Structure formats: C-alpha cells, structure tokens
C-alpha cells in the first residue's frame, strides 16, 4: 500500500470528522438500544495467530516465488476445509505469474459483500536503514489480514448473514516502486474482471494485527461504510482501538473497487513502526488484536 497523505492540520481533521462522528454516535446509540442482533462471537484470535505463524514460516511471500505459491495453496486448502467455494484467479504481471484467491459462501442468497487482504510480501525492506535490500517477513503487512479472513471462514455464522460473501486474497500488492512495479496489481485485476457483478460493499484488512493497535478513518474510504464498521467496533467495546477521526489517505487494495462505484474501506493501522522493515516479524502481532478485528467483521456480516 502507499500513503498519499497524512492529515495533520487540526481544522481539516475537525471538518472531516464532524459528519463521521455524528454517524458513529447515532450508530452506537442504535447498537446499545439492542436493535442490532448479535452473533455468537466465535472468532478466535489464537486460531488467527496460528495462521500468521504458518504464513511467516513459509518465508517471504514475494509474488512468483515458491513461498508465495505455498502460501496460496495453504490459503486455498484452509478455505476448502471450511466449506467455501474456492477458485484461483491467475494473471501475469511483468512476466511474473501471480494468483488471486476468491472464496464464496451463501452464493445467490443476497447482495455480494467482499472482504479482502493481500498475502504477498515486499521484496525489499526499503524503510529499514540497516537492511534496505532484504525481504520483508510480512507478519503484519500481509499475514495478519489473510489470517483474519481465514479464521472468519471458520467462524462466520453464514445462516445469520443476508449476504453472499466473498473472501478475497490479493497477490502482487506490495512491490510498488521496486523494479518499475506498480502497487495493488492483484486487486486491480480482480476489480477489472468483475464483469457485470456489482457488490454491495468491500472491506479491506491490511496491517491489522500489531500489538499497539490504532485504527483511524482513511479519507479514501467510503464514509458511511467506515462509520458502520467503527460503530460495531465501538459497540463491542473496542473504542480504544478504533478512533473515529480521519488520519490517512491511502492507496490500497480497496481503491480499484471504489473506482467501480462500490462502497469500499480500508481498515489499516498505518502507525505500525515496522512497516516495510525486516522487523515485521510474528512477535509484533497480537492474537488479541486479530480477534478485535475479526469479531468486528463477524458481527458486521451477521447483522441483517
């Protein structure tokens, strides 16, 4: 992902925040009134963390490499085991073979809702002054989002959801500005090949597992959908981690869907100090952090 802008001016933050906070407060009042049905909350952070460890153990998952292929195969196997319909979406970029993964459930039940994460890792740790050409381990930047989706594949009460749900895993996201590569290649390919399908919404989870978890609004995300998700998080008691204040303007895997007119948001902790460094290792990821994100999405999808 690429940061376009960090919002620093206090008056700009205030103006952008007023409408979003109003939506959030209204949603919290409705949530606490008991009008939102709640699911079983079966998402398990330790299970998600185990998926992080497995991915990291494959090694850096750079697009086109054996660890990347093994990770894609692992993701597919886990999704099949959980009973989802799974397909690979292969494509080639700059003579490099890549694969998105799409898992579907509740096919035909209702409007499509997409959850997404990237599973590739960055070829060079360009933010690491000591090791700028070494690969990034990608425990948080890559593995955490994929791990949340894998545990959701197990924990979601699909009978409670009014949606057809897609869990999507993007390849070739994270090598922008290296050897003339662009960013977000896999998600762009998927969005370009949706055909006549027009999902109701899309939520991206990227760098969601770090131990000092802080989520702010991304101004490139759909404001109403952001407010809905942050409302659920607040209702679950996660207000110390989900802040209803605009802070970032991100180019990430939600953008190609936004450009198709699909409400799309990015749940991302861009304050992560180990971003694009060799120190992005599994000890920087917390099962509790993964569980907060997973349960927020679980409840969100299980509310009619």
Residue 29's pLDDT band (cuts 50, 70, 90): low
pLDDT of residue 28: 52
Please check the confidence at residue 111 and state whether its pLDDT lies above 50. yes
CATH number of the structural domain spanning residue 45: 3.40.630.10
pLDDT of residue 6: 64
What is the tens place of the pLDDT at every residue in 156-199?
Answer: 999 999 999 999 999 999 999 999 999 999 999 999 999 999 99
Longest dimension (CA), the chain: 55
Residue 125 token pair: 């740790």
What is the tens place of the pLDDT at every residue in 210-219?
Answer: 999 999 999 9
- The whole-chain average pLDDT of the chain stands at 91
Please check the confidence at residue 287 and state whether its pLDDT lies above 80. yes
Find the domain containing 254 and state its range: 2-302
pLDDT of residue 303: 79
- As for how many domains the chain has, the answer is 1
CA distances from 218 to 33, 103, 248, 264, 295 (A): 28, 26, 5, 11, 20
Residue 41's pLDDT band (cuts 50, 70, 90): confident
Identify the residue with better confidence: 55 or 13.
55
At residue 36, what are phi and psi to the nearest 5 degrees? -90, 120
pLDDT of residue 277: 98
Residue 4's pLDDT band (cuts 50, 70, 90): low
Burial, 274: exposed, middle or buried (Cβ in 10 Å; 0-12, 13-18, 19+)? buried
């Amino acid at each position: 992902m690429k940061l376009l802008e960090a919002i620093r001016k206090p008056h700009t933050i205030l103006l952008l925040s007023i409408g979003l906070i109003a939506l959030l407060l209204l949603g919290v009042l409705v949530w606490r009134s008991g009008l939102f049905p709640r699911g079983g909350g079966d998402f398990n952070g330790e299970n998600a963390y185990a998926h992080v460890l497995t991915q990291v153990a494959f090694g850096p998952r750079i697009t086109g490499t054996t660890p990347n292929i093994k990770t894609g195969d692992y993701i597919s196997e886990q999704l099949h085991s959980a009973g989802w319909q799974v397909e690979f979406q292969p494509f080639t970029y700059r003579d490099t073979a890549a694969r998105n993964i799409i898992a579907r459930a509740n096919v035909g039940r209702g409007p499509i809702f997409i959850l997404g994460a990237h599973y590739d890792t960055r070829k060079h740790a360009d933010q690491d002054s000591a090791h700028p050409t070494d690969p990034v381990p990608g425990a948080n930047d890559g593995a955490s989002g994929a791990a949340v989706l894998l545990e959701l594949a197990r924990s979601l009460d699909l009978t409670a959801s009014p949606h057809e749900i897609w869990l999507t895993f993007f390849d070739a996201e994270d090598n922008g500005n290296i050897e003339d590569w662009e960013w977000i290649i896999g998600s762009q390919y998927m969005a370009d090949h949706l055909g006549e399908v027009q999902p109701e919404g899309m939520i991206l989870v990227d760098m969601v597992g770090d131990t000092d978890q802080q989520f702010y609004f991304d101004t490139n995300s759909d404001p109403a959908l952001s407010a809905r998700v942050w409302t659920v998080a607040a209702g679950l008691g996660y207000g110390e981690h989900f802040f209803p204040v605009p802070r970032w303007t991100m180019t990430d895997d939600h953008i190609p869907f936004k450009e198709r007119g699909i409400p799309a948001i990015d749940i991302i902790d861009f304050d992560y100090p180990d971003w694009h460094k060799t120190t992005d290792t599994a000890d920087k990821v917390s099962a509790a952090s993964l569980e907060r994100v997973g349960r927020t999405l679980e409840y969100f999808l299980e509310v009619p």
